[in-house]
């Protein structure tokens, strides 16, 4: 006995496989959904988090599989690291970028070094309680 796909699954993935060895699904996401998956993945969200952000259910595995098929790794090579997006005023960003250039690195790496140093040394009071 085989599990028949639901109508929603047929709409999302196309028709049933025509023959043995046929792809398990056909890419049939609309542009809006694909765009938002890309945006959320670029922000570092996991497949389950993307599923929640899209307001969907039971698509996390499909999202993860499709990104794998597309050659996109959610966590990149640094699977134990997470991306932290932080809004910062342009004037401060410019100052940090200037300091990064002086230290022969780039802005994200200098920010990483600063935040990691504060966390490792428990220097929150030194930085925040001025």
pLDDT of res. 66:
84
pLDDT at 74 over 90: no
pLDDT of res. 18:
58
Percent over 70 (pLDDT), the chain:
72
Q: Evaluate whether 27 touches 37 at the Cβ level (below 8 Å).
A: no
- Domain extent listing, the chain: 7-69, 90-128
99 vs 4, higher pLDDT: 99
* Whole-number Cα distances in Å, 52 to 13, 48, 112, 130: 20, 6, 28, 39
Mean pLDDT of the chain: 80
pLDDT at 58 over 80: yes
pLDDT at 118 over 60: yes
pLDDT of res. 43:
77
């Amino acid at each position: 006995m085989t599990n028949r796909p639901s109508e929603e699954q047929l709409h999302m993935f196309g028709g049933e496989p025509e023959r043995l060895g046929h792809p398990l699904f056909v890419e049939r996401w609309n542009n809006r959904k694909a765009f938002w998956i890309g945006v959320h993945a670029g922000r570092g969200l996991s497949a389950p988090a993307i599923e929640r952000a899209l307001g969907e259910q039971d698509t996390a595995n499909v999202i993860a599989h499709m990104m794998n098929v597309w050659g996109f790794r959610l966590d990149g090579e640094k699977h134990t690291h997470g991306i932290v997006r932080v809004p910062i005023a342009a004037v401060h960003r410019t100052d940090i970028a200037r300091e990064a250039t002086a230290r022969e690195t780039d802005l994200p790496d200098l920010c990483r070094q600063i935040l990691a140093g504060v966390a490792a040394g428990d220097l929150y009071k030194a930085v925040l309680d001025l």
